[in-house]
């Protein structure tokens, strides 16, 4: 096997470093001592459903799917991706197991078991070829218990047992098919941190078990090279909610038709109507057809209480940036408005620290001009203690409440990790180059001696000879 890739969802560089130094992950530590270990920056937002498509394709989010960007920040279906992945470019026999955001699998030279994210249920067709499912039946039987736990008393053990079973499936497939490229993605590392982040003993217990399982796969398969990585980092759940639209209204960028109470009542009515429409497919099709017939706008009118005849800026869909209304501005005015907004946002601080860790223009972050498009005009990375929310509230800053009773969050946690070791790995000074998750695809393609297409956004990292 030329290359084995192991993804550990949500494991930050800081956490990985601590786990190895404290002896909790001895197998990872042994690999680190002989290879390259460094920070791997995620996308903005740093969520799996945006980061993994960039990982698979080497493309920045704006190039992935314009339709998904119009609707939300998330890429909901592998079919909607409509871009070639690095294993498809490589063309070698590949085994891709449990990689999130790959439902429904599409034909390629290899085997695939889609990961949990967006796979509807155990009963769905989550394998390629389809007949593979007969030999891996029950692969996703714990999906509901892991994603929506009612009782956390045995949650950790369910997660460990589930991971053990899935990695054993991966090991068996490697033994039978001997692929040139193999990839296993552990999604439970993300879920365990969501629900047990404040419990250090539970976190250590899970990663100790995962490290042991990774060690067994590595020892049995003996790949020429191994690459471990994560798609984002993790922090504890936010303490506060910041309603950016309230701030934009205060500064004169956003104007309201109604007050927050009337807007809340309207939202309740619309949610009720949405349930009725969803429950009746025939009504849903009519509504969708009429919506599409109206055409789309580059500036989404997402908030019913907002007066869009006078509004210049609003919090973007997905709550990870600012949309500027290019329909109201000339292109020369647009630059001045955006620069002023960035200056004002940069000065926002609460509790003795800046509210925004990072502020980017679309050009600086992804090399794409946002004027007149559906893309956010300003991208924001918030202090982890605070989360942006849409709408207009009674108060600009409120306490944060997690509906799912989670303990960990990664919406603004970009610092994942990367660890490479093997026959072709160059021992590099970790500070000698920077790495982003979008760089992984072209790096893997380069390792298989492929010429990198000009359309690829990522760069080839200097980790392989």
Per-residue model confidence (pLDDT) at position 293: 41
What pLDDT is recorded for position 67? 45
Tokens of 147: 């994603």
DSSP secondary structure letter of residue 403: T
Give the residue-averaged pLDDT of 295-320: 81
Mean pLDDT, range 325-342, rounded to an integer: 92
Of 340, 291, 333, 320, residue with least CA distance to 389: 320
User: How far apart (Å, rounded) are the C-alpha atoms in residues 280 and 269?
Assistant: 17
pLDDT for the residue numbered 36: 93
Domains of the chain: 3-236+409-447 (3.40.720.10), 240-401 (no CATH)
Q: What percent of the chain has pLDDT over 90?
A: 69
Query: Do the beta carbons of residue 233 and residue 433 sit within 8 Å?
Result: no
pLDDT at residue 68 greater than cutoff 60: no
206 in Cβ contact with 156 (< 8 Å) = yes
pTM score, whole prediction? 0.89
When computed from its CA atoms, the radius of gyration of the chain, rounded to whole angstroms, is: 23
Q: Which residues contact 430 (CB under 8 A, 6 or more apart)?
A: 36, 37, 38
Residue 26: the pLDDT is 98
Interval 169-205: pLDDT, tens? 999 999 999 999 999 999 999 999 999 999 999 999 9
How does residue 300 score in pLDDT terms, banded at 50, 70 and 90?
confident
Beta partners for residue 436, in sequence order: 41
Q: Residue 438 above 90 pLDDT?
A: yes
- 431 pLDDT above the threshold of 70: no
pLDDT at 70: 43
- Residue 292 pLDDT exceeds 50: no
Q: Give dist(CA 275, CA 418) in Å, integer.
A: 43
């Amino acid at each position: 096997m030329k290359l084995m890739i192991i993804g550990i969802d949500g494991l930050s560089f800081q956490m990985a470093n601590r786990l190895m130094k404290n002896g909790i992950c001895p197998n990872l530590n042994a690999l680190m001592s002989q290879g390259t270990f460094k920070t791997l920056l995620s996308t903005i937002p740093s969520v799996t459903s945006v980061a993994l498509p960039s990982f698979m394709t080497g493309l920045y989010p704006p190039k992935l799917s314009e339709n998904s960007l119009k609707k939300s920040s998330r890429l909901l279906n592998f079919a909607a991706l409509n871009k070639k992945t690095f294993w498809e470019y490589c063309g070698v026999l590949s085994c891709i197991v449990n990689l999130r955001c790959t439902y429904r699998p599409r034909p390629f030279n290899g085997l695939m078991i889609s990961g949990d994210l967006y796979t509807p249920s155990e009963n769905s067709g989550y394998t390629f070829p389809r007949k593979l499912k007969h030999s891996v039946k029950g692969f996703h039987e714990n999906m509901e218990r892991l994603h929506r736990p009612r009782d956390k008393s045995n949650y950790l053990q369910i997660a460990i047992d589930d991971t053990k079973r899935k990695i054993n499936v991966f090991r068996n497939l490697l033994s039978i098919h001997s692929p040139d490229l193999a990839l296993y993605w552990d999604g439970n590392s993300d879920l365990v941190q969501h629900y047990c982040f404040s419990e250090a003993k539970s976190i250590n217990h899970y990663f100790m078990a995962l490290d042991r399982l990774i060690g067994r796969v590595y020892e049995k398969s003996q790949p020429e090279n191994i690459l471990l990585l994560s798609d984002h980092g993790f922090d504890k759940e936010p303490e506060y909610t910041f309603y950016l639209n309230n701030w934009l209204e205060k500064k004169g960028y956003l104007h309201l038709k109604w007050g927050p109470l009337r807007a809340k009542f309207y939202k309740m009515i619309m949610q009720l109507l949405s349930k009725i429409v969803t429950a009746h497919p025939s009504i849903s099709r009519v509504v969708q057809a009429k919506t599409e017939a109206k055409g789309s706008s580059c500036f989404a009118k997402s908030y019913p209480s907002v007066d869009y005849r006078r509004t210049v800026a609003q919090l973007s869909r997905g709550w990870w940036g600012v949309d500027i209304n290019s329909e109201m501005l000339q292109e020369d005015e647009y630059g001045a408005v955006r620069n002023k907004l960035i200056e004002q946002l940069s000065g926002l601080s609460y509790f003795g620290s800046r509210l925004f860790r990072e502020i980017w223009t679309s050009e600086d972050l992804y090399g794409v001009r946002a004027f007149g498009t559906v893309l956010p005009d300003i991208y924001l990375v918030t202090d982890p203690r605070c989360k942006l929310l849409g709408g207009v509230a009674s108060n600009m800053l409120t306490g944060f409440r997690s509906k799912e009773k989670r303990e960990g969050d990664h919406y603004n946690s970009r610092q994942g990790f990367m660890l490479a070791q093997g026959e072709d790995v160059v021992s590099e000074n970790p500070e000698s180059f920077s790495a982003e998750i979008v760089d992984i695809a072209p790096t893997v393609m380069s390792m298989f001696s492929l010429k990198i297409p000009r359309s690829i956004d990522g760069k080839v990292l200097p980790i392989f000879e």
